[in-house]
Amino acid sequence: MAQSLSKVYVHITFSTKNRQALIDSKIKNSLFEYIGGICNGLECFPVRVGGYVDHIHILCLLSKKITQIKLLEEVKKQSSKWVKSKGNQYNNFYWQDGYGIFSVNPSEIDLVVDYIENQNEHHSKKSFQDELRGFLKKYNVEFDEKYIWN
């Protein structure tokens, strides 16, 4: 094939270090917008960015020009620096080391968008840990509990 073609949607999720509730109402929407801008700048076009007080969800179209790890390194590095610039109360803001990334069927984009938009409702009933365990089971990802959380 003379051309390299790709269209891979991914749902990415990761938490703040030790799942601290640091994504407050003062920065939440701006942070989501900022992360979308980082993705856009890396040609990983964001469909939706959202989250809760202790974690982020990103639904984006993965660029064929960048690896998953490079995308996550840049998103975490740039957004962490941005959050810390918002005031002394964010000096100890860090993301967890790891992440979850899952492919999304194009026919399920709207379902994932709805899921991301309704994080407050989801987390009135379920913790981030339970949410991530559910994703790992749904996608048949083998994992060891002692290495997931930091």
Considering only CA atoms, give the Rg of the chain. 15
What percentage of the chain has pLDDT greater than the value 70? Answer: 98
Tell me: pLDDT of 150 over 70.
no
| Domain assignment of residue 20, yes or no | yes
| Domain assignment of residue 105, yes or no | yes
Bridge partners (DSSP) of residue 49 are 58
| Domain assignment of residue 3, yes or no | no
Q: What is the mean pLDDT of the chain?
A: 92
Span 12-27, average pLDDT? 95
**Residue 132 lies in domain:** 8-147
Q: How does DSSP classify residue 97?
A: S
pLDDT in tens, 91-116: 999 999 999 999 999 999 999 999 99
Alpha helix positions (H), 3-140: 28-41, 68-84, 109-117, 119-122, 128-138
Q: How many domains does the chain have?
A: 1
| Domain assignment of residue 2, yes or no | no
| Domain assignment of residue 1, yes or no | no
- pLDDT for 126: 79
- pLDDT for 146: 75
pLDDT in tens, 31-49: 999 999 999 999 999 999 9
pLDDT in tens, 49-90: 999 999 999 999 999 999 999 999 999 999 999 999 999 999
Q: CATH no. for residue 29? A: 3.30.70.1290
